[in-house]
A and B are shown apart, each in its own frame.
Chain A
Amino acid sequence: MAELTYRDAVARGIAQEMERDPSVVLIGEDVAKAGGVFKTTAGLLERFGPERVRDTPISEEAITGMIMGAAMNGLRPIGELMFSDFLATCWDIVANQIAKTRYMTDGQVSLPLVIRTANGGGARFGGQHSQSLENWAMAVPGLKVVAPSTPADVVGLLAGAIRDPDPVVFFEHKALFAGKGEVPDGEIVDALGTARVLREAPDITIVALAAMVPKALEAAAELAEHGIGAEVIDLRSLVPLDTATLFASVSKTSRLATVEENPRLAGWGAEIASIVTEEMFWDLDGPIVRVTTPHIPLPAADELEDLAIPSVERIVDTVRRTMA
């Protein structure tokens, strides 16, 4: 067992897979010599060489298009988009090409690729370098969507994503990069579509993702002081979605809150709420509540960004109100 930062866990996960499979390659802007603008790929060039770890021009369509073509022809490529906001510059390749090609060719084409990207707010970067965009990817059939919250999950889920025969968009949260956590020694591989119950309690289920997970845990600890037992689930991936773990929890607690960093409309929590409402309505003791960023672009100033992104306090208040 070693203590690793979330950022170092990224490099560890990629290295683990590059070591076992020579077809795994990595490209992106500043990923090789510079080790990534967030230093998530430091050391990989030195270890695996310039043919497998390669810097690209500022060409997001080329990065995503090239990993698609490479995946069609025998590689298992990883492409890095420096910020998830840049998905908008190559959304055609991601949403129209990568996502749909297996279906549109009736299974002739396999695309075992991973798009890794730095996601989320909290760094005061303003509206074009801070978004949480898991729900964009979730809305497109044919993409798997993963967003880890701990260093151990970064390694395991990254390995799972790289080995997955389908395209995966892997969201690494910027606010978590510096955080540390215990990572077991040896190979770690997690199955996509497995949520994790991080805290068990009887009164309400709080579902969260990525940087909202530690906040949900903190909120649950505070809620306990108010006599409310909050169970916390880290979804870990939105596609595939582990509804079994979710349902098992809600059938115990009969209440559900989602904590999402994305803006309100069509956030992933709305889909969760809809599924639970349809299939577990009669088990519920109250309305499902969603804690989200308001439906606004993210501002840059500390005070404003902190107001926008769900806080521990807001989670606690929302849960207490629904339990009252």
Chain B
Amino acid sequence: MQQPSPETRLRLYADMVRARYFEKRAYDLFLQGLLKGTTHLGLGQEAVAAGFAAAMRSDDMTFCTYRGHNHTLLRGAPMDALMGELLGRENGICGGKGGSMHLTDVAKGAMGSYAIVGAHLPVAAGAAWAAQVRDTGQVSVCFFGDGTTNIGAFHEAVNMAAVWSLPVVFVCENNLYMEYTPIDEVTPVEHPAADRAPAYGLDGIIVDGNDVDAVYEVAQRVLSRARDGAGPSLVEAKTYRHGGHSRADPGKYRPDEEVAEWMARDPIVLYRTRLEEFGIQPDELDRIETAATAEVDEATEVSKSAPAPGPDTLMTNVWADGGSAWRN
């Protein structure tokens, strides 16, 4: 497999930084009461989203969860429209009808963020089935958590994808917790996704989810396997969330040493160190960070000053005719 080119390396770094800054801002806005409802941050898990996004073709399809800001942003969804959606503004990517857990940008191949655990695995398989029937060469990539490997839809979807040899990649982001419960307390195998893969005739692939080069390498491999008609893959990326499960959860149910160990393996810090070892100048990386801050500031300002969605939008887009009528 190809090592990332210097341009790709800079992109991977920039993508992780953009996602990190975007979500840190989302957290601040939540604490300020401007972001309502709930939010599930992928802080610490950016390398998985960045590594895959960089390896995907522009017409490939991403399916992700409520913890999906990273994935949607890094497929190319405009940051201001994502921020607008988080804040429930008119400029939101879904007009304020989706919210933090439901970012979608079909034009960019971000085919939705799904908030019912497991639901999107069969949906991703179905999009891959259509790609197979229509011979489009697209691959469908589906991200989900470790906890998701214990719900029926996971098993139905992986089985079906394997039997039909579908061009779909299932990516389990194993952050060791399903909400507040450690995954190893509720799962009989050590690697919740990879150890189940052989049951479906698949290889159990494990990758360091905090090493963006490693993720990028695996992503290239499984994407081309799918594109070549060799069928699905199930990848387990070991990673960790820096914060709690959602909202302002401080994540106190996690042992201090465990948190410290993973914080020391922050994917962005690790990658910056590596890039500097490769001879990339620190100011080049600083410039990336400054640009990301500016982009987040701009997205925040635009969204804060955007109007609320107009009341006329409440009743639109239930049906294909744009309306919501159920009777004549």
A and B are partners in one complex rather than unrelated chains: yes
Which A positions have Cβ atoms within 8 angstroms of B?
23, 25, 51-52, 54, 56-57, 59, 61-62, 64-75, 77, 92-93, 96-97, 101-110, 112, 141-142, 164-166, 193, 239-244, 275
| Given known contacts A102-B320, A109-B112, A56 and B160 CB-to-CB distance under 8 angstroms | yes
Max chain B Cβ within 10 angstroms of own Cβ: one of A56, A92, A193: A92
A75 touches B134 (CB 8 A): yes
Pick the interface stretch among B96-104, B172-180, B215-223: B96-104
| Given known contacts A57-B160, A110-B320, A166-B320, A69 and B130 CB-to-CB distance under 8 angstroms | yes
B97 touches A106 (CB 8 A): yes
Q: Which 4 residue pairs spanning A and B have beta carbons closest together?
A: A69-B126, A65-B122, A66-B126, A165-B320
B326 touches A239 (CB 8 A): yes
In-complex Cβ contact of B104 among A67, A109, A142, A164 (8 A) = A109
A-side contacts of B318, CB under 8 Å: 102-103, 141-142
Interface readout for B275-292 with A: 1 if CB under 8 Å, 0 if not? 000000000000000000
B324 touches A70 (CB 8 A): no
B128 within 8 A of A: yes
| Given known contacts A105-B102, A105-B104, A193-B328, A69 and B125 CB-to-CB distance under 8 angstroms | yes
| Given known contacts A142-B318, A240-B328, A244-B328, A66 and B125 CB-to-CB distance under 8 angstroms | yes
A244 CA to B160 CA, complexed, in Å: 45
A104 touches B129 (CB 8 A): no
In-complex Cβ contact of B116 among A52, A97, A166 (8 A) = A97
B205 within 8 A of A: no
A61 touches B153 (CB 8 A): yes
B-side contacts of A193, CB under 8 Å: 327-328
B127 touches A72 (CB 8 A): yes
B320 touches A66 (CB 8 A): no
In-complex Cβ contact of B159 among A59, A240, A275 (8 A) = A59
B-side contacts of A65, CB under 8 Å: 119-123, 125-126, 153, 156-157
B-side contacts of A275, CB under 8 Å: 327
B127 touches A73 (CB 8 A): yes
State the majority secondary structure of interface residues on B.
mixed
A151 to chain B, nearest CB (A): 26
B-side contacts of A166, CB under 8 Å: 319-320
Max chain A Cβ within 10 angstroms of own Cβ: one of B63, B123, B159: B123
| Given known contacts A61-B153, A69-B130, A73-B138, A242 and B328 CB-to-CB distance under 8 angstroms | yes
B122 touches A103 (CB 8 A): no
In-complex Cβ contact of A57 among B94, B136, B159 (8 A) = B159
Interface readout for B222-254 with A: 1 if CB under 8 Å, 0 if not? 000000000000000000000000000000000
B109 to chain A, nearest CB (A): 10
Interface set, chain B 138-159, CB cutoff 8 A to A: 138, 140, 152-153, 156-157, 159
A101 CA to B98 CA, complexed, in Å: 9
Q: How large is the interface on B (under 10, 10 to 19, 20 to 34, 35 or more residues)?
A: 35 or more
| Given known contacts A69-B128, A70-B130, A75-B134, A61 and B152 CB-to-CB distance under 8 angstroms | yes
| Given known contacts A97-B116, A240-B327, A102 and B130 CB-to-CB distance under 8 angstroms | no
B61 within 8 A of A: yes
Which B positions have Cβ atoms within 8 angstroms of A?
61, 63, 94-95, 97-98, 102, 104-107, 111-112, 114, 116, 118-131, 133-134, 136, 138, 140, 152-153, 156-157, 159-160, 163-164, 313, 316-320, 322, 324-328
A257 CA to B160 CA, complexed, in Å: 46
A22 to chain B, nearest CB (A): 9
A31 to chain B, nearest CB (A): 15
A242 to chain B, nearest CB (A): 6
A105 touches B123 (CB 8 A): no
A283 CA to B124 CA, complexed, in Å: 52
* Closest residue of A by beta carbon distance from B320: A165
B-side contacts of A56, CB under 8 Å: 160
B325 touches A97 (CB 8 A): no
B-side contacts of A109, CB under 8 Å: 104, 106, 111-112
B-side contacts of A23, CB under 8 Å: 134
A102 CA to B323 CA, complexed, in Å: 11
B129 touches A70 (CB 8 A): yes
B-side contacts of A103, CB under 8 Å: 97, 317-318
A93 touches B112 (CB 8 A): no
B98 touches A97 (CB 8 A): no
| Given known contacts A57-B160, A67-B126, A72-B123, A104 and B102 CB-to-CB distance under 8 angstroms | yes
B153 touches A105 (CB 8 A): no
A68 CA to B122 CA, complexed, in Å: 8
A-side contacts of B164, CB under 8 Å: 54
A24 to chain B, nearest CB (A): 11
| New contact pairs (19) apart from A69-B129, A97-B123, CB-CB < 8 Å | A23-B134, A57-B160, A62-B125, A65-B119, A69-B123, A70-B127, A73-B61, A73-B131, A73-B134, A73-B136, A74-B136, A75-B129, A93-B123, A102-B318, A105-B104, A109-B112, A165-B319, A241-B326, A243-B327
Max chain A Cβ within 10 angstroms of own Cβ: one of B102, B106, B313, B326: B326
A244 CA to B325 CA, complexed, in Å: 14
A97 CA to B133 CA, complexed, in Å: 23
B119 to chain A, nearest CB (A): 5
A61 touches B320 (CB 8 A): no
In-complex Cβ contact of B156 among A61, A74, A77, A244 (8 A) = A61
In-complex Cβ contact of A69 among B127, B153, B322, B325 (8 A) = B127
